[in-house]
Chains A and B, each alone.
Chain A
Amino acid sequence: MAQVRRALIVLLALVPIVAIGSVPEIGPVQRDHIEVELVAEQRSVEPGGSVRVGLRMLPDQDWHTYWVNPGDSGLPIRLEWTAPTGTSISDVRWPYPDRLPIGHLVNFGYEGEHVLPVTVEVPADLVPGQTFVLDLYADWLVCRVECIPGDADLRLELPIGAAEPAPEPATRELFAWADARRPEIVDWPARFNAEGGRLSVQVETPRTLPTDGWAFFPAAENLVDHAGDTFITIADGLVQVSQPLSTYFTGAPAVLPFVLVHADSATALSFEAAPGDLASTAAPVPAAAAPNLGLILLMALAGGVLLNLMPCVFPVLSVKALSLASGGGGDQRAHGLAYTAGVVVSFAALAGILLALRAGGESLGWGFQLQSPWFVGLLAYLFFAMGLGLSGVYAFGTRWMGVGENLSRHSGLRGSFFTGVLACVVASPCTAPFMGTALGVAIFLPWPQAISVFLMLGLGLALPMLALSFWPGLGRRLPTPGPWMDTFRQAMAFPLYLAAVWLLWVLARQTDANGLAMVLAGMVALAFALWLAGRPDRGQTLATARHVGVAMSLLFALAALGSAARMEQAPATGEASWWEPWSPERLQEVIDDPERAVLVNMTADWCVTCLVNERVALDTAVVRTTLADRGIVYLKGDWTRRDPAITDYLARFDRNGVPLYVVYPRDGGPPRVLPQVLTPGLVVQALESL
């Protein structure tokens, strides 16, 4: 192709015609199955002007010639120009071709009369009254099923005139045809790669384009299997094309010119794609947890302070405050510090237990994931139950308070320390909105930060008492315990109910209306159990019945959650169950399992390619069915926020961005990377090969 292009621009003196040439012929020339002629758009040329010239070709009925890329077979035409010194001749402005299926191959070419136009810049030193002579040697292949090569030496003679050249009526329609098929050259960002056995092309389009009915014409030879299934998707400002590579593909070109044609709207666009990853349109969001940690800690501190106003804490606090106010100087400070130590140590112990649970859960492969309906449902239950507690449906923790009170009655520093512990214990039923948040954060934060959150919470709880021990006078300004505390407690129930509603919404998205109804029924059962448990005892028999009732209701609540979670696991109704969150441990586990193959999808919310691929290929019935039928585990990694584990995984495939699709066969063989533009057929084929 390079030779052809080089030959297209010729700045030559009127050298004798190329070796093979005979005498150049003017006008239409008949060869086997084709008529050819060198024609111009105008009747004369001006010195220093330009003229459009073209090779007119008229193959016989059913015969065709070829585009710059002929397709699976055929040959591009070869053109050699000879023109007066100072003449410059452009490359052929290729009119877009037709797709011509020949047997099991597809060619790109032209049937019927057509023209291959070039623009000729005429030298300025031409003398009006003389003749401008342009010669062309053309060597082509004209085919039906069989092919006949042909060549001709053609000449065009145009009078040189000083006046504005007149258009040539005979060729008007011919050049109009070329204009109608001339693609608009656009410089929209375009990339391509040949990963995974397919050519993947991506264009960012600033224009709204029709979504259906496009044809793709790559201008590079030996790149794609032209008869292969071409998959063109236009969505979210992105054009994506996927086509199998040619059997004779040996390497990607340095640049890929291509044309997209939408015949219905007479749109043809010409692009040049650069090789590379199909980059996403945005960069990953850097980890956001770190800058927000200060805010989280401040909120934890404020939450801890607010805990003091909780009705289950305040009485203890006020008793202690009064005793502090009556005592003397430095001793009080020691008591205050002992109390603070008690609170903080208790919270640290709580955090330790939680993190130990988390670590235990993770080592068992049970991540704390909001994706699990079990987890979401349990959280909703927890928030709802805590809200009911605040609303006064039941009272919980009163017995613990007694235990604590005995300890805290001890005088001395030991007593103060245990008052601190007690404050934590009694606070637990009404820790409500703050503890809930802290729990949530602690589950997802790295452990040093999670511990800090709990310590701040404890410090906040201890802070008012610490202040009182240093400035006992403040104690007299404390509000006295009273009915306002109950009102405050009850008011604090409502944020919890809202939190439960949010969790139910999440759950509804994971399951469906049925799953949501089951969980709501479970919540009613839970409320019943708590209400029943809070009823005062009236005789042995009744008490037994009550315990049975509580147990049954709790069982029902759990069963309801279980059945909702199962609904989530049924692929027909579930939204998210057919994939699992990716983690290195889970991936390794499945790789080690000889029964299971894996599909890994690394994606991000800001990666439009990823979303388009999921919509058109991965999230389709046929792919889901294949995954389910073949027992293939589908792991999805979310790189929306930079995740070092995913970054490492991408690096293993020499990638620094998403999307990345990898399949692992059952037998533990090497993984295979799929193309960056997916089609349902491609994914199914890849899955079936595992």
Chain B
Amino acid sequence: MKLRLSHYLLLVIALGLVGSVFAAPRIGEPAPDFSVVDTQGQVHSLSDFAGQRVILEWTNHDCPFVVKHYSAGNMQDQQRLARDEHDAVWLTVISSRPGEQGHVSPQQADELTASRNAYPTAVLLDEDGDMGRDYDARVTPHMYIIDPDGILRYMGGIDSNPSRHSEDIPEATQYVVAALDDLAAGREVAQAITRPYGCTVKY
């Protein structure tokens, strides 16, 4: 199994590429910055929200797991809790490529917000998927919490039960709520990394 030098170089180059794709963010380190347009045509960057806690929610309205949390009102409740009780910024991010499931026009996105009674600060349209890849967002819903200093404090699933049945929500641990409580109390986030479950993001 003797590999030649050129093979190793290729391997190393390949690893480099994989490495850049998988430059996953780390808990306790600065969250990746972004610059993405919202449904109103306004560009948002992480630095715009310095001094405020930011919650990122990756979504795809046709994904059954997203539907699970919106149809039961769980996602909307958490948006209200975060913005009203914790004075946080809630950014809903859509990274679906044009033509793929979940991709919407700005108007459709606003209609979805209205029809579902959702309460995000803004809905970001990450059509080229750059922001999603920078955050290594894998599924919808995939959740992140960034503290006022720009440090990543939580990444993972919306809750602890990877089922598609909204009846299971009350018994599951709502990770984002728990993390916000921890942060508000000045504690370390008890579960800062959890398994995100849902539909693969359609980059």
Contact = CB atoms under 8 A, between A and B. Distances in A.
B15 A146 contact: no
Given A622-B12, A680-B12, A147 B1 contact: no
A229 B138 contact: no
A73 interface: yes
Interface string B50-70: 000000000000111100000
Contact of A146 (B101, B133, B195): B101
A681 B199 CA distance: 31
A146 B197 contact: no
Nearest to B13: A681
A247 B24 contact: yes
A146 B14 CA distance: 27
Interface string B165-197: 100000000000000000000000000011111
Contacts of A148: 64
A615 to B, nearest CB: 10
A96 to B, nearest CB: 22
Between B63, B195, B203, the greatest number of chain A beta carbons within 10 A of the residue's beta carbon is seen for: B195
B10 to A, nearest CB: 10
Interface in B145-169: 155-156, 162-165
A622 B63 contact: no
B202 A229 contact: no
A628 to B, nearest CB: 14
A551 interface: no
B114 interface: no
Contact of A75 (B12, B62, B162, B203): B162
Interface in A196-252: 211-212, 221-222, 225, 227-229, 247-250
Given A104-B21, A146-B62, A685-B19, A75 B5 contact: no
Contacts of B15: 229, 681, 684-685
A685 B202 CA distance: 30
B76 to A, nearest CB: 21
A616 B8 CA distance: 11
Interface residues of B, number: 41
B3 to A, nearest CB: 8
B193 A250 contact: yes
A145 B100 contact: yes
Contact of A149 (B24, B64, B136, B200): B64
A620 B195 contact: no
Contacts of B24: 247
A98 B1 CA distance: 25
Contacts of B3: 620
B137 to A, nearest CB: 11
A143 interface: yes
Interface residues of A, number: 38
B40 to A, nearest CB: 28
Interface string A149-180: 10000000000000000000000000000000
Contact of B200 (A143, A211, A247): A143
Contacts of A621: 5, 8
Interface string A83-127: 000000000000000000011110000000000000000000000
Contacts of A143: 199-200
A2 interface: no
Nearest to A626: B12
Contacts of B194: 248, 250
A135 interface: no
Given A104-B22, A622-B9, A145 B197 contact: no
B109 interface: no
Interface string A124-151: 0000000000000001010101111100
Nearest to B60: A146
A595 B116 CA distance: 60
Contacts of B139: 73
B138 A72 contact: yes
Interface string B1-32: 10101001101101100110110100000000
Contacts of A212: 1
Given A73-B200, A103-B203, A250-B193, A680 B64 contact: no
29 contacts: A20-B165, A73-B199, A74-B200, A78-B163, A103-B203, A105-B200, A139-B163, A143-B199, A146-B62, A146-B199, A147-B64, A147-B200, A149-B64, A222-B195, A227-B18, A228-B18, A229-B11, A247-B136, A247-B155, A248-B194, A249-B193, A250-B194, A620-B3, A620-B8, A622-B5, A622-B9, A681-B11, A684-B12, A685-B19
Interface of A: 20, 72-75, 78, 102-105, 139, 141, 143, 145-149, 211-212, 221-222, 225, 227-229, 247-250, 616, 620-622, 680-681, 684-685
Given A73-B197, A247-B136, A616-B1, 19 more contacts: A72-B138, A73-B139, A103-B200, A103-B203, A104-B203, A139-B163, A145-B200, A146-B62, A227-B22, A228-B18, A229-B18, A247-B22, A620-B8, A621-B5, A621-B8, A680-B8, A684-B12, A685-B15, A685-B19
